[in-house]
Structure 1
Amino acid sequence: MLYNDFETVVPKVSNQRKYYFIRTDHGRYFDEFYENGFVAIGWDPITLDDLKRADTEEVRLKVGRIKERHDIEDSIVKREITSILNKLLLFRDMNVGDIVVMPSYNSDRFAFGRVLDPHVYLENDNRGECPHIKRRRVEWVSVKNKNRLHPDFSLIRAHHAIFDISSDYSSRIDSLLSSVYQKDDYTYLRIDVGIEEEIPIQELIKIFNSIDRLAEEFRVKYPDFGEVTVKVNLNSPGDIGVKIRSSVHAMAFAFVLFTACTQDQVDSRNVSDQVVDIEPGIDQKTIENAVHSLQETRRSLNARMNENLDR
């Protein structure tokens, strides 16, 4: 990959983006939602007009009648009505670009997608199994098996139809959707370790040393080059998250790591030539050594993985 291409494909993630977990009817319509690019929510008698004025007493009474509860002053019923309205409002208020996480029926798969339209729409010509007509269009980005996700995702056990998971899961989801991205003045990079069994400590040390030597070269040449921090997930298959304050220098640094850690065959001289063109103060040999070391570690880990597959 050329540096100019890399710079244009690194997404800038808005810190206003929200993340929602949607489990309609316990995930029963997972395949239909995924194949047809939408999500839906129940409570069909609540109309779009009702959603626009969901905070009115009239709509609260309507929800109460749907629940077939007569004493709506009862504190338990009032809490249930509030909970239902809150779910409908979350569904209504999702914005274009917000992220939807959807589990399958038994939660062994999770789909990740982006909201495409600014409004709820009604599907009046329904030809699928899902009976619910209030829907949002979604561009599904990927589907992951549960055993390929961080264990934290197994903790999402709530059975609500929809809830906001932004505060707890945004960073994990961001790194799943893109292995390198910018957000809140920082550049983030995910390095996949990729093997199922225990990770040899020697290989981890090689990776950390390569990152540290490269970072030190940037720090010496550019005093404003930010601190590089890492977050390690050692749950197989693990990954290493790299974080650095965004700048032109940070982008060049991320380019070296991304190229060395994601591509099978890399010409270290070609990578160093591109970086030196942008950052003429950087020592070319340091870049080549970092690329070579990271590539060597990548090959070693891949070899271990292939050995296990052949057993």
Structure 2
Amino acid sequence: MKDDTIEYIAYKNDIGEIIETKVPLKKGEIYYLSGEESYWLFSSGKSEELFDSFEREGVIGIGWDKISLEEIKENNEDKLKGLFKERYSDLEEKYKTDKGFIQYVSLTINKLKRFVDEIKLGDIIVLKDRGRNQIKFGKVISEAEESKNIKLMIDDSLGYCNKFRKVKWLKTINKEKTQPELKLALSARHAISVINNEKVKEEINREIFSFFYRGQDLHMVFRVEKKENIKFDEFNDFQNIINSLKNKCLSETHTENRLNIKSNVQSPGPLEYFGNPKIVKYIYDVLIIGGVAVGSYIALKRKLQIKEPHEKIDDGVSQGNN
């Protein structure tokens, strides 16, 4: 195994200072998730310019600039609702009933509180844009802050984005390439929503990475890209190769026998192996790094049209789901 030192993300603040965070990026040379992250679906709204600006500035942001960050931190929801009604009274005309406006106020304050109080360092952001077919994945690397240097106009009602969080963007992909669970989650109309479905989280992880830690487990994703039916014997032979390498690792290292698999029953789809890092890393080093022709692996890789896992992130390429 390589060095297990954690590499943390750093960024430049508005005045050019380097800020060292406690948000992990890699363990050794391998991308790292703690397993404690929350996952957030974040919409940049109807404006394509906002999506591009979030990417360029390395941020996510929220509007309603007549409500300050300090006011959100210091006041409860009832107090904030009162401030909002007072400062955005002109919006009331857009709603046919008082009840409609009250509901709008309540939903807006909920968004502001979520953005400031609930999103945490290290959380995963899935950024979507109604105006295009792309989604971005990133890690939150700062607390909520107000920036005088970033001026992003939303519209006349919401004003400027004046509340931001720094984000380390990791990857951009085409939305149509995502798996069904994530694709369904992307249809949510909320500006900010937490993702609780574990299957969606797993699909997000595979979209970003193909070789990564999540907590104590090391994950390795092979992508079977063959669209036709897969022969049982070929699939069984591939599993036997993985199993033989696992057993060889156990005989050489006497480590804990812990290796699991998750797979998509459809083809194309992912084969995700995870568990004891020593076993997963051993298999990865032999097959991928060493390029050792174990059994019929080379032939099977060609027949099943397998895309192998690797340590890098290919921007614009689905890593583990297609």
Determine which of 158, 178, 181 is the counterpart of 2:209: 178
Counterpart contact for 2:44–2:128, Cα < 8 Å: no
Matches of 2:114 and 2:176 in 1, distance apart? 29
Matches of 1:125 and 1:85 in 2, distance apart? 23
Determine which of 139, 145, 157 is the counterpart of 2:168: 139
1:53 corresponds to 2:74: yes
RMSD of Structure 2 on Structure 1 (CA): 3.5
Q: Structure 1 residues 79, 107: closer, same or farther in 2, change over 3 A?
A: same
Give the aligned partner of residue 300 of structure 1.
303
Per-residue CA shift, 1:167-195, capped at 9, x if unaligned?
Answer: 43332222333222333432222112234
Give the aligned partner of residue 2 of structure 2.
4
Q: Which amino acid aligns with 1:114?
A: K
Identity in percent: 21
Give the aligned partner of residue 154 of structure 1.
183
Counterpart contact for 2:60–2:164, Cα < 8 Å: yes
Matches of 2:36 and 2:242 in 1, distance apart? 31
Give the aligned partner of residue 164 of structure 1.
194
Matches of 1:191 and 1:303 in 2, distance apart? 6
Matches of 2:252 and 2:306 in 1, distance apart? 36
Gaps in structure 2 of 5+ consecutive residues:
5-26, 308-322
Counterpart contact for 1:27–1:102, Cα < 8 Å: no
- Which structure has more helix as a fraction of its residues? 1
Q: Structure 1 residues 14, 127: closer, same or farther in 2, change over 3 A?
A: closer
Matches of 1:258 and 1:54 in 2, distance apart? 52
State the number of aligned residues. 273
Determine which of 33, 47, 63 is the counterpart of 1:13: 33
Between structure 1 and structure 2, the one with the greater Rg is: 1
Give the aligned partner of residue 100 of structure 1.
125
Give the aligned partner of residue 278 of structure 2.
252
Alignment of 1:1-311 (within 5 A): 4=2, 8-26=28-46, 28=48, 29-65=50-86, 66=88, 68-69=91-92, 78-93=102-117, 94-106=119-131, 108-123=133-148, 125-126=150-151, 131-156=160-185, 157-168=187-198, 169-218=200-249, 225-244=256-275, 250-259=276-285, 262=288, 266-268=290-292, 289=294, 292-302=295-305
Q: Structure 1 residues 199, 175: closer, same or farther in 2, change over 3 A?
A: same
Matches of 1:204 and 1:107 in 2, distance apart? 37
Question: How much has 1:44 moved relative to structure 2?
Answer: 1.9
Instruction: Give the TM-score normalised by structure 1.
Output: 0.73
Gaps in structure 1 of 5+ consecutive residues:
245-249, 269-287, 305-311
Q: Which amino acid aligns with 1:64?
A: K
Q: Which amino acid aligns with 2:241?
A: S
Q: Structure 1 residues 225, 25: closer, same or farther in 2, change over 3 A?
A: same
Question: How much has 1:299 moved relative to structure 2?
Answer: 3.1
Counterpart contact for 1:41–1:161, Cα < 8 Å: no
Q: Structure 1 residues 61, 36: closer, same or farther in 2, change over 3 A?
A: same
Instruction: Give the TM-score normalised by structure 2.
Output: 0.71
